[in-house]
Chain A
């Protein structure tokens, strides 16, 4: 098969949709689960095919273009570069993991659940792969729907409130985006990202365009002070939903900044960069401090996401090679480690139906495998050298330091706080006496659960020990971005 002409990206994008439709061929829950797993595994395999023939030149690969309406420059245009590559792979990897995780603990409306999971995956892949702004917008808006139902139907506690808040917040954020996309079209005659980034838009349009896009993306990331939907949505969502929310959905915001805000509106970026950096640092400190006082492990992880995404945005705001590359890699890292944290919180929640730290303690003795894996995941999240988190955070701080040492100093404070709150979680769950009778008969992880976590843990080490494998593909794309945008900003 000739991979240069084969529509690989379309395969990756539409396979989950076909799989979602295929679910209707089966009546029993087991076949539905198996189908979902097979489809997501196939999708992951398909996305791995992107790697072998990858030429690290920073350009858009595997492009596919189909004209849509006559007379309108609106195209089905897909492409992937070093910035989106790892996000695509992250999405397809988390697919089978959440399916496997949900194997036993989703028992009602199994078909609907996996259907929504699969089309959610397609929607997110569409966001990362679209090079046409209308296509991007369609996928961007579309991702709201499955997540709304996932949270509202299978969530816990105030799930409906959380789902509605999530939907309306993000929709409000992107309300004006369509207007700006149209403005761009009438200025340049194109909806195409490749054309638009060369177009040299005028200053006013850049200013308003940046503000509008940044609002949509900042809500998605979420950046302080647009984060208030996140704790609700993350905490109330079912585990699979939380993993996807934290793992991929938030990255759509970061990706939006990297893909659209910076290259399309460089002059405006120059104006707003300090603001982004400021909000990112506030986010790091706010997220960390709030995480410190959480009594519920899931809320703790949710607030840690705000802090971690603050790091990522600090990398973006640095606007140099280290900062941007670090931001891309750290996005993936956060997806892996926070995904793993949510999974592990989900695993004890499935056993005890509570997530309150006060209910636990001394799990070391009862669940050694769980505890060991939990330590690894926490260490990855904290940024222990040798694991993935370290590489990402260190690179970002390096990038930030070169721009403004104060940023780096405040960021480092965030690293310390992260160690504090995550170790507090470790202490609350694993250490101390095993004095709660309810915990004394907890079963350790079974094979399925270990299988769910294994690929993530392996990747922690792979990224931590061989970061070059990943940076090799990210850096050329970042360099290309900086070559266009850097001079405008003065970096």
Chain B
């Protein structure tokens, strides 16, 4: 492998890093005169470049290349594309949303780009050191972004809470890593996987390591019982950042968990799938039941995203290499569908927040009269979150459920199915407010261009993934095959 090959393989990361630096410097040179618009444009261009680079690598038929503690394989490329798209949509929506809310918008966009870089690195990591570094990198950018509104106490609380939880979760995860290192003398995932047996007391050690590692991954993915930060942080953080935390950042948690468990602990697969299965039950049930009572949309979507994390992790809990539905495929499809759906929902929240300054359910009353397009998009996203066919969310649920049923985990499948009905109740409640509750306010809602564009992209993707799911599923099953071959 020569230097040019390496540059090409790392092109998404290099472009992202470069973009981040350029955004900071250009913003400095502009002396913050244009409210971050130039910075946002450069960031979007860079993200576009990185996306092209990622897709080129993904479709060039490159097989797995592992070097310098990173793996460039279809699995990591999938998550990189996901992270880049998600950050791109968030930036697109932020251009109008953040204007006037902060003086330091150049840094804001740069931090978002660095967050995308952090996710790219974390999802490629084949080495526990890199895993830790990637997750910490993502965490630190997220802490800053969550507390970006310096004047707003809630935003401060969001940042501090996230930081305290994150620091503890990171430390606990590091302890788990040290256990694996202690048992095998290696931090390389594949080596750990080869040396770590599931016999006797080593199995106990492995289970302890799984639980400790999960503190880190589950924290990112907001799985119960590592979710306590989520409602307050989601509520207090600037809404675009909430959208980011609930999608790209969450996906990173699942991606890393998937790779670490599959590659480093294949001999303990029965144990970690069982643990993840119980976390799935807890997350779905708790998230949905608490969401029922929420009237603050950001908080409601926070609990909804905890519940969704429960569905998503079912994919890993039902890991079944060689089956018709291997589980990982379900995980990826679910995350793809969930990304556009959840970002879309938050985009509508941003539009309403910008218009009325409120994120309360009451602000959505009669939305169909004031902003029909917004109400229709929101309905689409909510129905997709509820898993109603033929929208994207249905296929996510379908593939995850299929894996669970194929593994014959019928109790789990039944609990998940019943939970879907509970969730429908509160999603429908928002639809009800938008369509059937009269509003005192009659002023039409105007939506900024960037936000509209991001909404349209998300909405169309939710429809396309739902109606023409096939190409996505083919791409995903190819990605998964290679990971399963290399990992298990």
Contact = CB atoms under 8 A, between A and B. Distances in A.
Contact of B417 (A134, A168, A179, A186): A179
B406 A141 contact: no
B421 A168 contact: yes
Given A69-B469, A168-B428, A176-B417, A144 B401 contact: no
Interface in A134-160: 134, 137-138, 141-142, 144-145, 148-149, 152-153, 159-160
A183 interface: yes
Contact of B436 (A68, A153, A176, A178): A153
Contacts of A153: 435-436
A48 interface: no
A45 interface: no
B205 interface: no
Interface string B377-415: 000000100001110001001100110011000100110
B63 interface: no
A178 B401 CA distance: 8
A72 interface: yes
A182 interface: yes
Nearest to A149: B435
A442 interface: no
Main secondary structure on A side of the interface with B? helix
Contact of A69 (B389, B414, B428, B470): B470
A273 B429 CA distance: 38
Nearest to A169: B421
Given A69-B474, A137-B389, A171-B424, 20 more contacts: A141-B388, A141-B394, A142-B389, A142-B390, A148-B428, A152-B435, A153-B436, A160-B432, A160-B436, A164-B428, A171-B421, A175-B417, A175-B420, A176-B418, A178-B397, A179-B401, A179-B410, A179-B414, A182-B406, A185-B324
Interface in A165-185: 167-168, 171-172, 175-176, 178-179, 182-183, 185
A71 interface: yes
A70 interface: yes
A110 to B, nearest CB: 14
A186 to B, nearest CB: 5
Contact of B474 (A70, A134, A149, A179): A70
A176 B388 contact: no
Interface string B449-475: 000000000000000000001100110
Nearest to B437: A160
B318 to A, nearest CB: 11
Contacts of B436: 152-153, 159-160, 163
A404 B259 CA distance: 63
Nearest to A179: B413
Interface of B: 324, 383, 388-390, 394, 397-398, 401-402, 405-406, 410, 413-414, 417-418, 420-421, 424-425, 428, 432, 435-437, 469-470, 473-474, 477
Interface of A: 68-72, 134, 137-138, 141-142, 144-145, 148-149, 152-153, 159-160, 163-164, 167-168, 171-172, 175-176, 178-179, 182-183, 185-186
Nearest to A73: B324
B326 to A, nearest CB: 11
Nearest to A141: B389
B269 to A, nearest CB: 20
Contacts of B390: 138, 142
Contacts of B469: 69
A160 B365 CA distance: 13
B442 to A, nearest CB: 16
Q: Nearest 6 A-B pairs (CB), nearest first? A: A182-B405, A138-B389, A175-B417, A160-B436, A179-B413, A172-B421
B470 A68 contact: yes
A163 B431 CA distance: 11
Contacts of A183: 405, 410
A153 B366 CA distance: 12
A56 B203 CA distance: 65
Contact of A168 (B398, B425, B473): B425
A124 to B, nearest CB: 15
A178 B421 contact: no
A192 B65 CA distance: 41
Contacts of A159: 436
A178 B324 contact: no
Given A71-B477, A152-B432, A179-B413, A138 B424 contact: no
A138 B394 contact: yes
A142 B388 contact: yes
Contacts of B402: 182, 185
Contacts of A163: 436
B463 to A, nearest CB: 13
A159 B421 CA distance: 21
Contacts of A185: 324, 402
A206 to B, nearest CB: 15
A160 B390 CA distance: 24
21 contacts: A70-B474, A71-B324, A72-B324, A137-B389, A138-B389, A142-B390, A148-B428, A152-B432, A152-B436, A168-B428, A171-B424, A172-B421, A175-B421, A176-B417, A178-B397, A178-B401, A178-B417, A179-B417, A182-B405, A182-B406, A185-B324
Contacts of B414: 176, 179
Nearest to B477: A71
Nearest to A153: B435
Contacts of A179: 401, 405, 410, 413-414, 417
Contacts of A164: 428, 432
A460 B257 CA distance: 65
Contact of A186 (B397, B406, B435, B477): B406
A473 to B, nearest CB: 31
Contacts of B437: 160
Nearest to B424: A171
B324 A144 contact: no
B473 A144 contact: no
Contacts of A171: 421, 424
Contact of B383 (A145, A178, A182): A145
Looking at B324, B389, B435, which has the most chain A CB atoms within 10 Å of its CB?
B389
A109 B394 CA distance: 29
